[in-house]
């Protein structure tokens, strides 16, 4: 298969962090391996989410925190920056409602979607249940802290920002207040820091974020050539799972900072997708869980499954929880804990 691409060159854009660059390089490698006649180059750019590190993620509202600057370059070149052909995102950070000019071209390379516990160097603990009452856990995610307040009410949770290396440096500082961090397992694995993981969290203790562990490739809607190329790269089971997850979040009108967790499993033999979801209040005291299973053989069926699960969750009270989310109260201290 050949594609009419000027100079057989594809300009990839992504964020500037080490993890983001590694992810852009993964997509570059996938394209060049399948199509040796094509060459790719990578532009790494800082975004609002990268540049403002002093505020917790939830305070931004969270719906285009990591994407806007790069999307401008999908439309046109600016100053010294070239026009992009595609943007590589951590899919969990990619808004479920994209601007009209753009679309999700494909989903690639989903690694372990679970969240991981990373203990401070030298500490004897492995899991959260090992920690003494009152221990401080660092996370930038209301989804993580909300779920864990349900299961570990005697722990404390505080926001910690920065790229993976910056967060680990804060954790390992001798003067740190944190005993451990909660991070995406896939991010640690991709930058060869999987050895720092002391525990990987499974549902129902921790449902993972929508799209977590997967790469999302964003393109212009008016670029059929790039769309056709990317369609040849996608993995169908991964795509179905992630589209269902994103459809759920879209239906619940949630940004990437809200307390919605998911777990999806696709059986390629029966073509059935088992989809579980949870919505949790930031203090962990209220929650709604639901699940659905059905045959999924197309992107549209995957999207519909997400809508159907959202209806189940809303019927059970999820909308009320989301409507009452007050992000200023996310870091409430558990009762009776100093």
**Whether residue 132 sits in one domain with residue 90:** no
Q: Is residue 306 part of a domain?
A: yes
Which of 190, 207, 224 is the last residue in one of the domains? 207
Q: Is residue 334 part of a domain?
A: no
**Whether residue 263 sits in one domain with residue 201:** no
**Whether residue 16 sits in one domain with residue 105:** yes
Cα distances from 10 to residues 82, 87, 157, in angstroms, run 11, 11, 42
Q: Is residue 331 part of a domain?
A: no
Q: Is residue 1 part of a domain?
A: no
**Whether residue 164 sits in one domain with residue 297:** no
**Whether residue 93 sits in one domain with residue 26:** yes
- Which residues contact residue 21 at a Cβ distance below 8 angstroms, ignoring those fewer than 6 apart? 14, 15, 42, 44
**Whether residue 50 sits in one domain with residue 10:** yes
Domain of 318, CATH number, reads: 3.30.160.40
**Whether residue 171 sits in one domain with residue 310:** no
Structure tokens at 88: 């590589």
Record the pTM.
0.88
At 193 the three-state DSSP class reads: coil
**Whether residue 182 sits in one domain with residue 34:** no
Structure tokens at 91: 């899919």
CB atoms within 10 A of CB 78: 11
**Whether residue 123 sits in one domain with residue 67:** no
Quote the pLDDT of residue 255: 58
What is the spatial distance between Cα 311 and Cα 44, in angstroms, rounded to a whole number?
A: 39
Q: Is residue 330 part of a domain?
A: no
Domain of 58, CATH number, reads: 3.40.190.10
Tokens 């394209």, located at residue: 31
Q: Is residue 47 part of a domain?
A: yes
Domain that holds residue 272: 241-323
**What is the radius of gyration, based on Cα positions, of the chain?**
20
**Whether residue 257 sits in one domain with residue 119:** no
Total domains, the chain: 3
Q: Is residue 332 part of a domain?
A: no
Note whether 219 and 226 are within 8 A (CB).
Answer: yes
Look at residues 53, 242, 61, 83 and name the one whose alpha carbon lies nearest to residue 163: 53
11 φ, ψ to 5°? -95, 115
Pick the catalytic residue: 4, 50, 85, 93?
93
Tokens 């026009």, located at residue: 83
Tokens 């298969």, located at residue: 1
Task: Give the count of alpha carbons within 13 A of 168, CB side only.
Answer: 17
At CA 320, angle to CA 245 and CA 64, rounded to 5?
45
**Whether residue 223 sits in one domain with residue 191:** no
Q: Is residue 336 part of a domain?
A: no
What is the spatial distance between Cα 132 and Cα 140, in angstroms, rounded to a whole number?
A: 21
Note whether 146 and 285 are within 8 A (CB).
Answer: no
At 85 the three-state DSSP class reads: coil
Look at residues 89, 61, 60 and name the one whose alpha carbon lies nearest to residue 74: 89
Active-site residue flag, 202: no
Would you report the helix, strand and coil content of the chain in percent, each value rounded to 5? 35, 25, 40
Mean pLDDT per 10-residue segment, the chain (338 residues): 93 94 98 98 75 42 58 87 95 91 95 98 96 96 93 94 92 96 97 98 96 98 96 96 97 76 98 98 94 98 98 95 67 38
**Whether residue 99 sits in one domain with residue 11:** yes
Quote the pLDDT of residue 232: 96
């Amino acid at each position: 298969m050949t594609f009419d691409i000027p100079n057989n060159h594809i300009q990839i854009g992504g964020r500037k962090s080490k993890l983001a660059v590694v992810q852009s390089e993964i997509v570059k490698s996938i394209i060049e391996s399948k199509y040796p006649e094509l060459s790719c180059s990578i532009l790494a750019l800082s975004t609002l989410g990268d540049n403002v590190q002093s505020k917790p993620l939830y305070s931004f509202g969270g719906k285009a925190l990591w994407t806007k600057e790069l999307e401008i370059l999908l439309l046109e070149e600016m100053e010294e920056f070239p026009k992009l052909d595609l943007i590589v995102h951590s899919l969990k950070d990619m808004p479920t409602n994209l601007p009209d000019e753009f679309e999700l071209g494909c989903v690639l390379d989903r690694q372990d979607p679970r969240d991981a516990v990373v203990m401070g160097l030298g500490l004897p603990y492995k899991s959260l249940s090992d920690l003494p009452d009152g221990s401080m856990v660092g996370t930038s995610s209301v989804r993580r802290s909300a779920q864990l307040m349900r299961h570990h009410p005697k722990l404390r949770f505080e926001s910690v920002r920065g790229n993976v290396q910056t967060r680990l440096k804060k954790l390992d500082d001798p003067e740190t207040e944190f005993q451990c961090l909660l991070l995406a397992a896939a991010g640690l694995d991709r930058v060869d820091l999987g050895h720092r993981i002391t525990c990987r969290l499974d549902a129902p203790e921790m449902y993972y974020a929508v799209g977590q562990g997967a790469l999302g490739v964003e393109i212009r809607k008016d670029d059929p050539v790039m769309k056709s190329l990317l369609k040849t790269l996608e993995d169908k089971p991964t795509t179905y799972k992630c589209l269902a997850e994103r459809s759920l979040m879209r239906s619940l009108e949630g940004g990437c900072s809200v307390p919605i967790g998911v777990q999806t499993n696709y059986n390629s033999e029966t073509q059935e997708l088992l989809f579980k979801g949870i919505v949790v209040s930031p203090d962990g005291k209220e929650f709604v869980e639901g699940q659905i299973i059905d045959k999924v053989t197309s992107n549209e069926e995957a999207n519909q499954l997400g809508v159907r699960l959202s209806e189940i969750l809303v019927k059970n009270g999820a909308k009320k929880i989301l409507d009452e989310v007050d992000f200023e109260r996310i870091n409430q201290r558990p009762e009776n804990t100093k």
